[in-house]
Each structure stands twice: as structure tokens, then as C-alpha cells.
């Protein structure tokens, strides 16, 4: 993963198209892809030029206009080069299709996937740079290798956003993680009920659970009242007199204060491998999360057993 700039993503897509097509053509001894490394360097040079122009901060109006013209010229050059390679790749695929094996068809599908990504980014750059359109968030792709990647707004000063997937966890009073859910383009309030239902299936003795404000909705509050004896779900926005009394009651405050303990579990998960997923694909990401949760629980169990052992040892010493 790198920061998803439009020229960077387009470079990734065309790079994979060139590399894979040249690999396919080498097998069938087709001409036209011998200068693979040279062509990649040329495209990389154009993307580097675009990045440099974008980084400049001119103040004069004439300089701002000059920057815009230079940027448009560089983007046009990048688009033209990309379209040339798309056309060339399609012609090569047509030739290979006549004598391709089953394994070749897998590689052809992969090439076609990256050709489609190239077309998407060309279209988005054309609309954004030349037509001055605003690309909606739903249309944006943040990684061609991990398309499930999301842009997560954290709202913190040091880290205002992150690229990845949201994960919701349920932790008990002893620090063990009972349940986890990978949120696929979902917000907190959408997973409130499903994650509690899933946890209740395995641990039916749960009577209370504390949530962040982000998990609140009127419907969630009603549903949680049926599932739990005393749900701790702080309301968003201005509180009514009834809500104010509830959220300032002794029991509500008591459980709400314990909620901060989940932050240590989140930090522990990051330490035990969940800070960066080294596997590929969405299914592999889910598996990675499950393994991180298991390793955290094993580590927690080990800490309890170690404490128990030291207490026992200390008692024996006193007895002697």
C-alpha cells in the first residue's frame, strides 16, 4: 500500500499490464514487448514529473496558471502512453487467445483486470483534471492489489485518516476478546446488533455491554434492551432530561468507566500482528484478524497463569 494518488494508481495498473503481457508474449515469442523496462522507466518519469508539479505551491496568479497548464500537459502525456499500451496489450491477447492453454487464460484474465483498472483511472483523471469534476467517494479505489481497502477518517491530529478495514471487538471484564467482526464498508451503528447476537450465541450469560457513541441509534437502543439487561449506549447529540438522568446514574457511570479498558485490547491486537496485514485478499484479511485475536487471548491466558505461578511460589517461600 502507498498513498493512493490518481497518477500513482494509474502507474500501478499500467505497470502490471506491461509486466504480465510481456511475460505472456515471451512464452509465445510475440514481438513488441522487448523494451519492457525502458517503457516502465518512461511512464515512471512522467508520474514523478506530475508529483513534483503537484507539490509546488506558487503564489502568483500567472504561476498558478502555469502550474495548471504543466499539470494538464503531463497528465495528457501519461494518458496517451497508457492508452497506447492498452491497445497493444489487447492486440497481444487476441493473438495468444488462438493458441492459449488453460493456465494462460488465468494470466489473460489477470491482464484484463489491470486493463480495466487502467481505463477506470484514465476516466477519473480526465473528469477530475480536464473537466474539473469532483469524483464521489464511492467511485474511488484506494488499491488495485487490495480493492477492499477503505479510507478511514479517524479525526485525530496526528493520524486524521488511515487506509485499511475497520474491526469491531467485544472484550470481557477479564481482558479476553469474545468476538470480532471485520466491517466491510459498514459504519459502527450497522454492526452493533449483529456482533452482540453473535457473542450471545456463544456466551449467553452476558447481561451488560458498553459501547462508544458511534454505535448509537434509536433502533439499536431498542434492540439492545431486548438482548441485554443493562446496555450502556451513550446517546449522540443533546440529551433529554430522561437520558441525562440515565447516563448520570451510578450503574451507567460505573460500566462506562470500564469501557476505556477496550483501548488496551485494541493496542494489544496491533502489537500482536494486526497493525499491518501481510496476507493478500479480503478472506485472508479476515483470517489474519482471527489469528491476531487468538494470539491476544493466548497471551492474556499466559499472563494469568504466570501471575498464578508466582503467587504460589511466593506462598511456599513464606511457609518455609
Q: Is 280 exposed, middle or buried (0-12, 13-18, 19+ CB in 10 A)?
A: exposed
Beta strands, E only, 19-165 = 150-153, 161-164
DSSP string, 221-265: HHHHHHH-SEEE-PPSSSPPHHHHHHHTSHHHHHHHHHGGGHHHH
State residue 116's pLDDT score.
95
- pLDDT tens across 241-290, in order? 888 888 888 888 888 888 877 888 888 888 877 888 888 889 999 999 99
pTM of the model: 0.79
How far is the C-alpha of 188 from the C-alpha of 218, rounded, in Å? 14
State residue 79's pLDDT score.
94
Q: What is the DSSP letter of 211?
A: -
pLDDT(165) > 90: no
SS3 of 36, please? helix
- pLDDT tens across 218-233, in order? 898 889 888 888 888 8
Average pLDDT value for residue range 33-47? 91
DSSP string, 255-313: HHHHGGGHHHHHHHHIIIIISS--S-SHHHHHHHHHHHHHHHHHHHHHHHHHHHHHHHH
Amino acid at each position: 500500500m502507498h498513498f493512493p494518488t490518481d497518477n500513482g494508481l494509474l502507474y500501478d495498473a499500467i505497470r502490471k499490464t506491461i509486466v504480465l503481457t510481456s511475460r505472456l508474449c515471451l512464452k509465445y515469442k510475440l514481438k513488441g514487448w522487448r523494451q519492457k523496462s525502458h517503457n516502465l522507466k518512461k511512464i515512471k518519469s512522467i508520474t514523478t514529473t506530475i508529483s513534483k508539479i503537484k507539490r509546488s505551491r506558487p503564489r502568483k496568479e500567472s504561476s498558478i496558471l502555469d502550474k495548471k497548464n504543466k499539470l494538464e500537459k503531463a497528465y495528457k502525456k501519461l494518458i496517451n502512453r497508457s492508452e497506447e499500451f492498452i491497445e497493444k496489450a489487447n492486440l497481444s491477447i487476441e493473438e495468444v487467445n488462438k493458441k492459449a492453454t488453460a493456465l494462460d487464460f488465468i494470466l489473460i484474465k489477470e491482464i484484463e483486470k489491470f486493463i480495466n483498472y487502467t481505463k477506470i483511472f484514465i476516466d477519473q483523471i480526465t473528469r477530475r483534471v480536464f473537466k474539473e469534476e469532483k469524483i464521489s467517494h464511492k467511485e474511488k479505489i484506494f488499491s488495485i492489489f487490495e480493492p477492499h481497502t477503505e479510507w478511514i477518517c479517524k479525526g485525530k491530529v496526528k493520524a486524521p485518516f488511515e487506509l485499511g478495514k475497520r474491526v469491531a471487538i467485544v472484550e470481557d471484564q477479564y481482558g479476553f476478546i469474545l468476538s470480532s467482526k471485520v466491517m466491510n464498508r459498514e459504519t459502527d451503528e450497522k454492526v452493533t446488533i449483529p456482533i452482540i447476537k453473535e457473542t450471545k450465541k456463544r456466551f449467553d450469560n452476558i447481561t451488560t455491554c458498553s459501547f462508544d457513541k458511534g454505535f448509537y441509534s434509536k433502533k439499536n437502543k431498542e434492540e439492545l434492551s431486548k438482548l441485554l439487561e443493562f446496555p450502556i449506549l451513550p446517546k449522540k447529540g443533546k440529551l433529554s432530561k430522561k437520558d441525562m438522568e440515565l447516563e448520570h446514574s451510578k450503574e451507567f457511570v460505573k460500566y462506562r468507566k470500564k469501557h476505556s479498558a477496550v483501548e488496551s485490547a485494541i493496542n494489544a491486537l496491533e502489537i500482536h500482528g494486526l497493525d499491518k496485514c501481510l496476507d493478500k485478499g479480503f478472506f485472508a484479511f479476515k483470517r489474519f484478524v482471527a489469528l491476531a485475536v487468538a494470539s491476544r487471548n493466548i497471551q492474556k491466558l499466559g499472563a494469568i497463569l504466570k501471575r498464578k505461578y508466582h503467587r504460589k511460589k511466593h506462598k511456599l517461600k513464606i511457609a518455609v
